Amino acid sequence: MDKKRLLIIDDDSRNIFALENTMRAKLFDCVSCLSAKEALKILNDDANIDAVLIDMMMPEMDGYEAIPLIKKIPSHESTFIIAVTAQAMSGDKEKCLKAGADDYISKPVDVDKLLLLLGKIGNGYD
């Protein structure tokens, strides 16, 4: 069974470190970056990313701006995108989904919930 490839986009390297270590322990192959602009370069060069975890609140380009751009990349039109945000207020999930995210999870990330969401990969998302 091939490992699923996960791109983690977050402007806080501590969040990336924690998520990468956790997801590698769960047998995911992880790629990460600190900005949405860098993520777009990675995704343009790598068609083999199965899912994206994107922090919605980043400087320069936030997740709301980046997700539609990710979906415009021909090899990533149907890549599974999970919005990750510290914003857990009413309406935030809908705002993330409207931006094009396939699902949403709030910080601090509940690993069991994240694994459940990532279980959707392969059910029409890859």
CA atoms of 17 and 91, how far apart (whole Å):
29
Residues ≥6 apart with Cβ < 8 Å to 122: 4
Task: Tokens for 109, please give them.
Answer: 């990330």
Residue ranges of alpha helices (H) inside 1-126 are 13-25, 36-45, 63-71, 92-99, 111-118
Q: Please tell me the CATH superfamily of domain 5-118, with its number.
A: Response regulator (3.40.50.2300)
φ/ψ (deg, to 5) at 92:
-65, -40
> Any bridge partners for residue 55, and if so which?
84
In single-letter form, the type of residue at position 97 comes to L
Q: Output phi, psi for 48, to 5 deg.
A: -100, 25
What is the predicted pLDDT for the residue at 124? 42
pLDDT band for position 86 (cuts 50, 70, 90): confident
Q: How confident is the model at residue 125 (pLDDT cuts 50, 70, 90)?
A: very low
Query: Which range, of 9-13, 16-20, 120-124, averages the lowest pLDDT?
Result: 120-124
Locus of tokens 């995911």: 28
Tell me, yes or no, if the pTM score tops 0.85. yes
| 123: Cα within 13 Å, side-chain hemisphere | 7
| CA diameter of the chain | 39
pLDDT in tens, 33-82: 999 999 999 999 999 999 999 999 999 999 999 999 999 999 999 999 99
